[in-house]
Amino acid sequence: MAKKMIFPLMFGLVGVIVLISLGVWQMQRLEWKNDVISKIYERRNGEPISLNDNYKTSSPETHNYLRVFFEGEIKNNEAHVYAPQKDGLGYRIVSEFDWNELSILVDLGWVEKTKKNETRTTGDARVIGYISYPDDHDDSFTPKPDIINNIWFSRFVPDMANQLKVEPFLVVAEQVQIKENDNWIDYKDVMPFPISLNIKNDHRDYAITWFSLALVWFLMTIYLLWRIKQKTV
């Protein structure tokens, strides 16, 4: 009887240990993700700071959603990102923006489909916005951009920057003002489309799943051992 129970017992114990380990790992990931989200909210909701002090050191880990301000010049060089909303079809207008002797990308906001190809105001501008490393591109599922008609299906910064001949660096505008007769006025050619945070954190659910499977595995092992014992009595 004892020999017949050794393998099921070892198999059951190994399974329980592995599943519990996966649950513990997910709890550790949960703690890490909560810390990341907390820092992101701090960056997004803080007072805007100068882009000059953060451009060279910018990275997704430390600067994604960082609120910044800067001045420069909106150029007539755009990428139009398909972005349907509840109000209708439309596009994000991602523009070349000359700043600090560099050209970067600024997501100015959203326009209706009928205004996609309108000529927008260019020139001196100042921006409050968020450094952004978008994650809306998927190599497997995102269609390739229609370069001829200037229709993009994600803000894939490397390709977009290459097409517009600018630095691969994106700021999503919260507020844009342009200079008119030496006065700063709100930029009305597009509707601001600031970042909304909806960051998934499913690690608690994953942990519960692994711990539940560990419990089921344990109970099945006990049941199997009981059946083996019953057959040998």
What is the pLDDT confidence band of residue 233, given thresholds at 50, 70 and 90? Answer: very low
pLDDT at 209: 95
Q: Which of 147, 175, 134 is nearest to 80 (CA)?
A: 147
Cβ(156)–Cβ(92) under 8 Å? no
More confident: 136 or 151 = 151
- For residue 173, what are the CA distances in angstroms to 52, 70, 105, 145? 16, 11, 10, 23
CA–CA gap between residue 48 and residue 87 (Å, rounded): 30
What is the pLDDT confidence band of residue 169, given thresholds at 50, 70 and 90? Answer: very high
- Helical H segments across 58-196, by residue range: 60-63, 157-164
Hey, what CATH topology would domain 66-186 get?
Answer: OB fold (Dihydrolipoamide Acetyltransferase, E2P) (2.40.50)
CA–CA gap between residue 67 and residue 53 (Å, rounded): 12
Range ranked top by mean pLDDT from 32-36, 157-161, 196-200: 157-161
Looking at the predicted structure, is the pLDDT value of residue 103 above 50?
A: yes
User: Which amino acid, residue 58?
Assistant: S
Average pLDDT, the chain: 89
- Return the structure tokens found at 180: 């008119």
Other residues' Cβ atoms within 10 Å of the Cβ of residue 144:
9
Q: Which of 175, 217, 166 is nearest to 194 (CA)?
A: 175
CA–CA gap between residue 169 and residue 107 (Å, rounded): 11
What is the pLDDT confidence band of residue 20, given thresholds at 50, 70 and 90? Answer: very high
Mean pLDDT of 39-67: 82
Cβ(31)–Cβ(203) under 8 Å? no
pLDDT at 184: 95
Mean pLDDT of 74-81: 97
Cβ(65)–Cβ(39) under 8 Å? no
pLDDT at 232: 61
Q: Where are the domains of the chain?
A: 2-40+200-232, 66-186
Give the whole-number percent of the chain exceeding pLDDT 90. 59
Q: How far, in whole angstroms, is CA 210 from its chain's centroid?
A: 26
pLDDT at 9: 86
Looking at the predicted structure, is the pLDDT value of residue 199 above 90?
A: no
| pTM of the shown model | 0.74
What is the pLDDT confidence band of residue 196, given thresholds at 50, 70 and 90? Answer: low
